[in-house]
Structure 1
């Protein structure tokens, strides 16, 4: 509908949230009841800048500033689905941003211990406030994303909320036995795929799971090469 139409009225957030789940999340092969319930309950509009709240439930990633984005809902839902989260696991969100993904994990219940790592102070302050209200059990850590959270490791699951060329070795070292990483991997010149990454004696094994247009995490993007 044309927003200039005098009869136009935007959906209220609760209705928009339910429509997001029914029109975007469930058709994207997301059937985990805990994921669906958390995405129905959590106010995504409060995790984006006020000027973008009318678009909080649209099927696109939204800019948060500092080159960072809130990942498209469909991709977030599928990432949580393919992570195959088990009760009682310790989970680290790398790129905690404004707290939405960490709060979803906390909202899934199952006794998860969720930690969010963020390097941008402004985003971390927003994320802490968001989680304090909606997911008070989430722990926040400040520091470089590339270094992970060695002090609180090991983790059963590390979820990287943003695309990377490859997973930093420090994150692999912070996995518990049998642990895994879920991250969007964007090879140079290739297509970004949300992937399952497992440690191996040689480094890591990467299993692409599904393609997704996920913005790069600037901090973990490779430095530009000199061209002579």
Structure 2
């Protein structure tokens, strides 16, 4: 399979046609080999326009959804970024092309180990993956200018917002069920307060640990 051609087709048909215009972001999608971050048996479908299961309950976001989330997050060359539920680190690799430093966090230890090997093979030296609880973020490198949550959530812990820098942006997908999509959202910290803006409709599998606790019902 011609992966370079598949990657170009992904960019031209899935990303450019869906309101993604940032040239640096587009260049990152053109340069990072997505097929390396999926199981070998799934490399032939690495560039399909759907969320792709990669093992241990992790999914790579649909390329269009990931591109629009990253564009909304506006990572810059001086920024520090956190990639939560990073899996094998595809989004981490993309962010490494756009930000100064990137930390990927996942509690799926085997995927983290695989991902660090892939990043090393690509000679990416400003990003690393670590094993840890998703809801805890990664305080050691905080505060972050950008936080990407790779998956759908029902609620976000205060700990993540505490790790946002002033002016920092957090992007994720909220909600979504089998009968309807969720919403891609942007949170931004300004003057110590957290604002929220809905970006577009999107759906992807829910992340364990980010479900809302059921309320008491009489």
With normalisation by structure 1, the TM-score equals 0.86
Aligned partners of 2:188 and 2:180: how far apart in 1? 21
Is the aligned partner of 1:115 residue 2:69? no
Cα shift at 1:86? 2.3
The counterpart of 2:162, out of the listed 153, 173, 180, is: 173
Match of 2:137 in 1: 148
Q: Which has the larger radius of gyration?
A: 1
> 198-207 or 138-147, which moves further after superposition?
198-207
Taking structure 2 as the reference length, what is the TM-score of the superposition?
A: 0.90
Which runs of 5 or more residues in structure 1 are unaligned? 1-10
1:1-228 aligned at under 5 Å gives the runs 11-108=1-98, 112-134=100-122, 135-186=124-175, 191-199=181-189, 204-222=194-212
Return the offset for 1:202: 9.8
Q: Residues 179 and 201 (structure 1 numbering): CA distance in 2 closer, same or farther, change over 3 Å?
A: closer
Q: Within 1, Cα distance between the matches of 2:125 and 2:43?
A: 23
Aligned length: 216
Structure 2 regions of 5+ residues with no counterpart?
none
State the alpha-carbon separation in 1 of the partners of residues 53 and 198 from structure 2. 25
Greater alpha carbon shift after TM alignment, 50-59 vs 213-222: 213-222
> Is contact 1:68–1:218 with CA below 8 Å preserved after alignment?
no
Distance 1:201 1:187 in 2: 31
